[in-house]
Structure 1
Amino acid sequence: MTLSEESPALDDPPVARARERRRVPLWLAIVACSVPMFMVALDNLVVSTALRTLAVDLEASTQQLQWFVNAYVLSFACLLMTGAALGDRFGRRRVFVIGIVVFTLASAGCGLADGSAQLITYRAVQGFGAAAVMPLSLTLLSQAVPERLRGLALGLWSGISGLAVAMGPVVGGAVVDGLDWRWIFWINVPVGVVAVPLILLTLRESSLPGIRLDLIGMVLAAAGLCAVVWGIVHGDTDGWTSAKVLGAFLGGAALLAAFVAWEARVPEPMLPLSFYRVRAFTLTNVVSAAMYFGVFGSLFLLAQYLQMVPQRTPFEAGVRTLAWTLMPMFVAPVAGLLSDRAGGGRLMALGLFLQGVGLGWIDVVADIDTPYSSLVAPMIVAGVGMGLVFAPTAAVVLGSVSKEHAGKASGANTTVREIGGALGIAVLSSVFVAHGSMGTPQRFIAGLHPAVWVGVAVVLVGAVCALGIPRRPRSEGADV
């Protein structure tokens, strides 16, 4: 199966004609877009599992351990829309490649780090690169495939994203069980070295002709999101009502309000507010936030539950999560094919409902003497549900806006998604601490049950919102 590349508006005519004659295998275009995304998504998850090893080898304090994770999360989540905007202005493939190079070099820096300060610095730089890779990966893929194959391509892309979620606890567990922690980062280097020439040979360049950078919007969005995410990641440890956390939320809200006011009056906004007049786009963002809140918050606690009841190594626990986390790899491509026919909103509603059922089922049966076999079926149900959400989300977001705005729409959705995941982990951890502790299996179970029920409630609210998504978002957002 092959596809013909479309000639971008900015290509010189001879180059455009040469590219039109060249045919690129569909699978190769999917690989070129998906492998860098997999690398970025995996690194977002794997470090959390390896924190114990990092604490010993680097003699890191508790605060430094938090920043090993938070430095990446902050720079990544806060710059996603900026990465998409830079791609629109300077060329999406160009900025995508630059993001990969930055991420790869920062990964090498992490692997060479001999102290906590160095590792934190390079983790922040990794986030800068990842913020360009993640939104532009989806945008470039949507442009690289013909319309009739877009659902399949987005489904396969989503399945690879799900594989990164699956491998995070496993790779992190392998590090804790004896593999040198530096391999978490060194493995990215050969991937980056192979990905760059593959992208240059496979994907065409595209940009928006004559667009101006919305520098004030970029600064306001990045600063506001940074303050909000900082407040989220510190809410559990510093207290949600502490002066620092409340100050971060208030400051972030003020900056984001200024961002909205600025975007409403600037001729070429970084994020067109007209997107949010499209019901499909707005509700899909709510669905994304709800899914990542419930699923990643619950998965964060359940991964620890599998280590405690009974005692298992992190690697053994990570392998046991695969019953859940591998499902999207198989379900997402099918969901992508069905998205246009069945309606993305319906599939998302079904997926979130199954996630809620799976999470609630796990919460009901989880106890200090629950055999793993009793958890497999609900894990599979939750994983199937997750796979039914991934691909339709991407399809509806891109279908809600015109092609030239695909990068901005992808960046906005990915930002909401990451904030939802960070908020889910923080809130569910706070509920857990309020009712239990890590001290004994009994105390862990006491905190686990109410925390997961919060995740179930949020996921089911997302399912209700998904029912309001129109079956054909493209007609609704045709002029956006």
Structure 2
Amino acid sequence: MAETLDDLCARFGPRYPQWMLVVLMLGTIAMVLSTTTIFVALPAIMDEFAMGRPMVQWLSTGFLASMTSGLLLAAWAQSRLSARRTTQYALWLFIFTTLLAPLATQGWELIALRIVQGFCAGIIQPLATVLIFRVFSSGGRGKALGVYALGVTVAPSLGPSLGGYLVDHFGWLAVFWLPLPLCAVVLLSARLLPSDRQPGVSKLDLWGFVLLNLALFALLLALAEAQRVGWGSSRAYAAGLLGVLAATWFVRRSRTHAQPLLNFTLWRHAAFRSASWVAAVIGMGLYGMIYLIPLFLQTIEGYSAGQAGMLLLPAGLALGAASYLSGWLCDRWQVAWIMAAGLAVCALSSLVFGLLPSTASFFAFCLWASIGRGGLGLLLPALTSGSLSGLPADELASGAGAITFIRQLGGAFGVNLLTYFLEWRSASAGDVLAFQHTFWLSAAIFLLAIVAAWGMRVQSQTS
């Protein structure tokens, strides 16, 4: 028999919302750990499979790209299968691909497994935001979002820390095993999730899904090929043209389809438009900087994978504390102020990171990395609250999926574009200056995003 949220509240008592929040957070931590632990394992995987940087980056960008497309299926899957079954199916597929990883003998096989895992992660994450908004509708939503954001924000910093230790002591395969215990806990606790389905669900826009994935992977391939051989390559040009055409076709189809994967009518809300810009920048900061910092520490400063990961451990604690604080503040302050402050802190951290000399101490790198992650921690609960609070109830599910889609899109292309800029500057200025300029570019992007965040304040006053 299908169980609704009301049924579960009556069955498990007044503490049910807190128990459900814990399950949702653990599921998110498992998926985000899988996203970020791979960064410190890339050199070992390159040696194992004789892969160059243009190919090995697909282990992260391919995961993020498929995760981005999977996000848009979350609302449909929840309505069609229920939140409980959607989570169970996605986790079982994730575990199955993890068990296949030791059998990979070619680099492309490992990349294919990562792409499937990214799709599973994309299906799971938006469901949590919708359920939090529903079960905490009577109050405490900001605090609940702050607690949930621990999974979204702490895991990207804890991932490299744990992953670096595991790679140094057990090899690169250990980063694939890391999320499995959490996946098992969530599967065993899935009965805490509602199993009711929405009647009369329309068919999936399969053609739109194909176009979306074609656009994402073609554009990422174009950037990867341009990084490897330059834009003069016919492969880079053809992939870029194919990606633009597919993206254009996807947008046109989504605007006219009765049940599109991405509901473009959401952008009729001015606050949602501004939040989308901030979301893209947060994605770049969340994944782009967690990619750049370990790479900088290992290639320029000579740190081991474990040392580079350990440096980010205090940053994870700062992220978690700032996320909880942001959730508390969201119930009291305007979210635009919180987002502007978070972006300013991120910009300051990136700027100073680019200015630190090569003789800087471990403590100095750790301090400014922690400050930057603290700024990101302020942003996520505020972004979720600000982007969804102005939407009607029937658009919450699509809005949660869309804003997470934009954030992950920023992460996928942020990693790729920052890598492209880094390689471009490295060819003419050397590695040290290239990293410095890339950190400064990140700071400039964070500062520009403050304009969008401030615009949300103006819109809330005039609405």
8 Å CA contact retained: 1:173, 1:315: yes
Letter of the aligned partner of 2:78 in structure 1? Answer: G
Given that 1:87 and 1:407 are in contact with CA atoms closer than 8 Å, whether structure 2 keeps it comes out as no
The answer for the alignment partner of 2:326 in structure 1 is: 335
Q: How far apart are the structure 1 equivalents of 2:239 and 2:401?
A: 23
Deviations 1:89-138 (A, max 9, x none): 33233212211111111111124435434423322221221121122232
Name the residue aligned to 1:433.
423
Letter in 2 for 1:249: G
2:278 is equivalent to residue 287 of structure 1: yes
Aligned partner of residue 369 in structure 1, secondary structure: coil
**Equivalent residue for 1:389, pick from 356, 366, 379:** 379
Q: Deviations over 1:241-300 (max 9, x none)?
A: 643333333322322322232233233333322200111111111101123324543442
* CA distance in 1: counterparts of 2:91 and 2:400, whole angstroms: 18
- Could you tell me how far 1:165 is from its partner in structure 2? 0.8
Task: Name the residue aligned to 1:6.
Answer: none
The aligned residue for residue 403 of structure 2 is 413
For 2:24, the equivalent position in structure 1 comes to 33
**Which moves more between the two structures, 18-27 or 128-137?**
18-27
Give me the CA root mean square deviation. 2.9
The amino acid that maps onto 1:460 is L
In structure 1, C-alpha distance between the alignment counterparts of 2:72 and 2:226, rounded to whole Å:
24
Correspondence for 1:173: 164
Q: Which AA in structure 2 matches 1:457?
A: A
Provide the rounded CA distance (Å) in 1 between the counterparts of 2:164 and 2:278.
30
Cα 1:415–1:240 shift into 2, 3 Å: farther
How far the C-alpha of 1:352 sits from its partner, in A, is 0.2
Aligned partner (choices 198, 215, 218) of residue 224 of structure 1: 215
Q: Aligned partner of 2:37: which letter? A: V
What is the CA–CA distance in structure 1 between the aligned matches of 2:389 and 2:187, rounded to whole Å? 28
Question: Any idea what SS the aligned residue of 1:204 has?
Answer: coil
Q: Contact 2:25/2:150 (CA < 8 Å) preserved in 1?
A: no
1:235: Cα distance to partner?
Answer: 4.1
Conservation of the 8 A alpha-carbon contact between 2:3 and 2:195? no
Match of 1:5 in 2: none
Deviation at 1:399, TM superposition (A): 1.8
AA aligned opposite 2:360: T
| 2:296 matched residue in structure 1 | 305
Q: Residue 474 of structure 1: CA displacement?
A: 13
Q: Which residue of 2 aligns with 1:367?
A: 357
Contact 1:367 1:445 in 2 (8 A): no
C-alpha deviation, 1:361, in angstroms: 1.8
Residue in 2 that maps onto 1:120: 111
The residue type paired with residue 32 of structure 1 is: V
Find 2:249's aligned residue among 249, 258, 266. Answer: 258
* Cα shift readout 1:161-215 (whole Å, capped 9, x = no counterpart): 1111111221231233121322222233332222113122x12235443231341
Q: What secondary structure sits across from 2:162 in the alignment?
A: helix
Residue 72 (1) aligns with residue 63 (2): yes
2:121 match:
130
Alignment TM-score, normalising by the size of structure 1: 0.87
State the 1:394 CA deviation.
1.6
Q: Aligned pair in 2 of structure 1 residues 452, 16: CA closer, same or farther (>3 Å)?
A: closer
Quick one: which of 391, 394, 400 aligns to 1:401? 391
> Structure 1 residues 429 and 59, CA, compared in 2 at 3 Å: closer, same or farther?
closer
- The answer to whether the 8 Å contact 2:62/2:217 transfers is no
1:12-31 matches, within 5 Å, as 19-23=9-13, 24-31=15-22
**2:94 maps to which residue?**
103
Whether the aligned pair in 1 keeps the contact of 2:285 and 2:376 (CA below 8 Å) is: no
Q: Is 1:424 aligned to residue 414 of structure 2?
A: yes
Residues 371 and 187 from structure 1, CA distance in 2 versus in 1: closer, same or farther, beyond 3 angstroms?
closer
Q: 1:241 to 1:360 in 2, by over 3 A?
A: farther
Counterparts in 2 of 1:290 and 1:19: CA distance versus 1, 3 Å: closer
- Opposite residue 407 of structure 2, the aligned amino acid is R
Q: Which residue of 2 aligns with 1:275?
A: 266
**Corresponding position of 1:457:** 444
How far apart are residue 472 of structure 1 and its match?
A: 8.5
> Using a 3 Å threshold, how does the CA distance of structure 1 residues 12 and 433 change in structure 2: closer, same or farther?
closer
In 2, distance between residues paired with 1:235 and 1:473?
A: 42
Letter in 1 for 2:194: R
Q: CA deviation at 1:21?
A: 4.8
Partner SS state of residue 456, structure 2: coil
Deviation at 1:353, TM superposition (A): 0.8
Cα 1:185–1:353 change in 2 (3 A) is same
Aligned mates of 1:191, 1:299 — CA distance in 2 = 22
State how far apart, in whole Å, the 1-side matches of 2:18 and 2:105 are: 40
Superposition deviation, residue 151 in structure 1: 0.8
C-alpha distance 63-325 of structure 1, shift in aligned 2 (>3 A): same
Q: For residue 4 of structure 1, what is the aligned residue in structure 2?
A: none
Matched, 1:187 2:178: yes
Tell me, yes or no, if the aligned pair for 1:158 and 1:332 is still in contact at 8 Å. yes
Alpha-carbon contact 2:30-2:180 (below 8 Å) kept: no
Specify the code of the residue in structure 1 equivalent to 2:369: M
State whether structure 2 residue 339 is matched by structure 1 residue 316: no
Check conservation: 1:279, 1:470, Cα contact below 8 A: no
CA distance in structure 1 between the aligned counterparts of 2:229 and 2:7, rounded to whole angstroms = 59
Aligned-pair CA distance for 1:346: 1.6
Question: SS of the counterpart of 1:342?
Answer: coil
Aligned residues: 461
* 2:453 pairs with 1:466: yes
> Quick check: 202-211 or 275-284, which moved more?
202-211
Counterpart secondary structure, 2:208: helix
Percent of matched pairs sharing the same residue: 22
